[in-house]
Amino acid sequence: MLPTKINLSKSKSLIINWSDGNNSEISLERLRRFCPCASCVTEKEKMGNSYFPIYNFDQLEVKNISVVGSYAITIHWADGHNTGIYDFPFLFNLGLSK
Ligand SMILES: [Zn+2]
């Protein structure tokens, strides 16, 4: 499944149009919470069940989105964090589960 269009909406979410005609809307908070980069994943694993996200405004603000190869995007957050590589199957699944 490939995106045909990726839009940042004013309502703080990412809207993805998929090649099969479906759309996903994923909130920025959800994208940040599931950041797949090594440091975020490790932090969540360390905290285990006691993990809950605390975000400041910059951490939920997107400055830029860039495409990685033909399989993923990177989100450049306003706090400078940009190491998470969100591949398309991962994004598709984030859009499915609420
Ligand atoms: Zn991260």
Is pLDDT above 70 for 67? yes
47: helix, strand or coil: helix
Asked, for residue 74, whether it belongs to a domain, the answer is yes
Asked, for residue 9, whether it belongs to a domain, the answer is no
CATH number (domain holding residue 79):
3.30.2020.30
34 C-alpha to center of ligand 1: Å?
8
Asked, for residue 33, whether it belongs to a domain, the answer is yes
- Tens digit of each residue's pLDDT (9 = 90 or more) over 4-46: 999 999 889 999 999 999 999 999 999 999 999 999 999 999 9
Averaged pLDDT for residues 69-85: 97
Asked, for residue 21, whether it belongs to a domain, the answer is no
Instruction: Report CA 69 to chain centroid distance, whole Å.
Output: 17
Asked, for residue 18, whether it belongs to a domain, the answer is no
Number of domains in the chain: 1
Is pLDDT above 80 for 73? yes
79 C-alpha to center of ligand 1: Å?
11
71 C-alpha to center of ligand 1: Å?
18
Structural domain for 61, as ranges: 28-96
Asked, for residue 89, whether it belongs to a domain, the answer is yes
Asked, for residue 49, whether it belongs to a domain, the answer is yes
CA–CA distance, 51 with 43 (Å, rounded to integer): 8
52 C-alpha to center of ligand 1: Å?
14
